[in-house]
Structure 1
């Protein structure tokens, strides 16, 4: 496997969090800065949202491709919610960048709360599948795999269904280990269901805080939270040992999974409660209390210096953890 860095781990320092507000970072990092961060840590891959590049001109993309090659970094490119016109531009751009994988999303849904987005999730999935079919030949032409992420919205069954319907070696899955819990699945069961389809992995960890409606998931450094990361790596070795794995410590806002509310479940088909029990057991194992302060520095209204330090420290601690467990070589 190749261990890399998702640029979104530094969503504040890159200028995305708070963009256009008085809380935005004063001097955003650019892609070159992120390449330097990954290289200094001895990483082997980097995941870059194409929207962060000033433009997608061939000269710029080829120059960045050369830079990544010199640094020994395998690129993964990011698009957004599946859009045919956007992908007609992003697929060739990913190829020019040297990326074999282009991550895509199927909705803007967060916290698993589908009902706020649509009353007919099945129809939405069918529409997204049709859009992917429209561009899959272009993906094949450019030798780019479209990796659909479980982005706090999709279950393993949803992703399996999409991949089966598109029916191409150029469709796959971007697996986020924490997002599974947000739709009521354990990451371990979801990985086993999706294993052969996984083309990119997002490595994250979380701390769990109970609420009257469910649980809040709060970002933390790898190895400092409730996820069994060693188990995830064992599954990677078993199912997809050559995959790229990106450190992605993205959200500065706690994700409130209201899985105990009837309304939350309106966006899902009926299921046997035994299918959800493994996830509920993982949530319930937390030792934290409802009154514990779960807020990140961003949510507490902290200033720029503290939020930057928060991102830097979590990244450094994650690198140290991956070295400690032998996934990254010790320097």
Structure 2
């Protein structure tokens, strides 16, 4: 176990609360009549008093020109917002592409996941990929945080991280995802604690389907679902270890566009109020 795998240090920037593009999931989507641009989402973030934004799984990003990417960074800089990045997959060429994007955007952290269609690496392949690429990431000052999720056992992800043993490779903790693989949130939190570089914060709950036939597993306003935030904070110590906490939502589409957008904004404000008071 690497003792240097935490993101922060005594001289680190301190834990920060940030918003993910997933906090604007519906507002950024083509499901609404007037989708936000990335720059507009950044402006909304600044208006909420937040100075960190994680551009996560935002498909238009990869099609942007260097000039467009530079404009996004200029907007963030003007608003006093720092950026992080998120993608999926660990193919070497893909990670190199996002390392380049991180350089343009000034992002010191890239969140990713192991599997994408057509590429499901085993532990040996993942170790080889990260071992080969991490010197470039270290030289650029960019860390990789692999997210916990249902497609890959947490134990396998941790095996890879332990074998690579680099402060530039760690975990993006999201215990909500692993429930679908019947992994207990508390057990996942306990297992990943030494390696966490980034935290995704979203609450979750089960609800009975109509007719009481089965359940729906979905999002909940932060503090009202099954996420034991107090336990997670004690174990992961984000403030003490300078681990950024990034707000996301699993908000189902509501009866109308207006109600969906209203509730998405409400959940974001509730999440900010919750984290700021804890």
Q: Select which of 260, 274, 278 maps to 1:321.
A: 274
Q: Select which of 202, 205, 212 maps to 1:204.
A: 202
State how far apart, in whole Å, the 2-side matches of 1:34 and 1:238 are.
25
Q: Secondary structure at the match of 2:122?
A: helix
Residue 12 of structure 2 corresponds to residue 5 of structure 1: no
8 Å CA contact 1:195–1:240 kept in 2: the answer is: no
TM-score, L = length of structure 2: 0.81
Residue 237 of structure 2 corresponds to residue 223 of structure 1: no
Between structure 1 and structure 2, the one with the greater Rg is 1
Call closer, same or farther: CA 1:148–1:68 in 2, change over 3 Å: same
User: What do residues 24-46 of structure 1 show as CA deviations (whole Å, max 9, x unaligned)?
Assistant: 22211111121122212212311
State how far apart, in whole Å, the 1-side matches of 2:238 and 2:144 are.
22
State how far apart, in whole Å, the 1-side matches of 2:148 and 2:237 are.
20
State how far apart, in whole Å, the 1-side matches of 2:181 and 2:104 are.
35
Call closer, same or farther: CA 1:71–1:234 in 2, change over 3 Å: farther
8 Å CA contact 1:139–1:170 kept in 2: the answer is: yes
Q: Secondary structure at the match of 2:99?
A: helix
TM-score, L = length of structure 1: 0.69
- Per-residue deviation at 1:201? 0.5
Residue 35 of structure 2 corresponds to residue 48 of structure 1: no
Residue 28 of structure 2 corresponds to residue 30 of structure 1: no
Q: Select which of 70, 79, 82 maps to 1:74.
A: 82
State how far apart, in whole Å, the 2-side matches of 1:304 and 1:200 are.
31
State how far apart, in whole Å, the 2-side matches of 1:66 and 1:91 are.
18
Write the mapping of 1:274-289 to structure 2, written as runs, cut at 5 A. none
State how far apart, in whole Å, the 2-side matches of 1:132 and 1:250 are.
30
8 Å CA contact 1:222–1:318 kept in 2: the answer is: yes
User: What do residues 242-273 of structure 1 show as CA deviations (whole Å, max 9, x unaligned)?
Assistant: 01111010453xxxxxxxxxxxxxxxxxxxxx
Q: Select which of 149, 158, 161 maps to 2:159.
A: 161
Call closer, same or farther: CA 1:106–1:214 in 2, change over 3 Å: farther
Q: Aligned residue for 2:176?
A: 178
Call closer, same or farther: CA 1:54–1:189 in 2, change over 3 Å: closer
Question: Which piece of structure 1 moves more, 144-153 or 230-239?
Answer: 230-239
- Per-residue deviation at 1:175? 0.8
Q: Aligned residue for 2:8?
A: none
Call closer, same or farther: CA 1:48–1:70 in 2, change over 3 Å: same
Number of aligned residue pairs: 261
State how far apart, in whole Å, the 1-side matches of 2:158 and 2:63 are.
34
- Runs of at least 5 residues in structure 2 that lack an aligned partner in the other structure: 1-14
Q: Aligned residue for 1:265?
A: none
- Per-residue deviation at 1:241? 2.7
- Per-residue deviation at 1:205? 0.4
Q: Select which of 298, 310, 318 maps to 2:263.
A: 310
Q: Secondary structure at the match of 1:224?
A: coil
Q: Select which of 180, 187, 190 maps to 1:189.
A: 187
- Runs of at least 5 residues in structure 1 that lack an aligned partner in the other structure: 110-116, 253-295
8 Å CA contact 2:18–2:52 kept in 1: the answer is: yes
Call closer, same or farther: CA 1:3–1:193 in 2, change over 3 Å: same
Q: Select which of 98, 103, 125 maps to 1:90.
A: 98
CA RMSD of aligned residues (A): 2.9
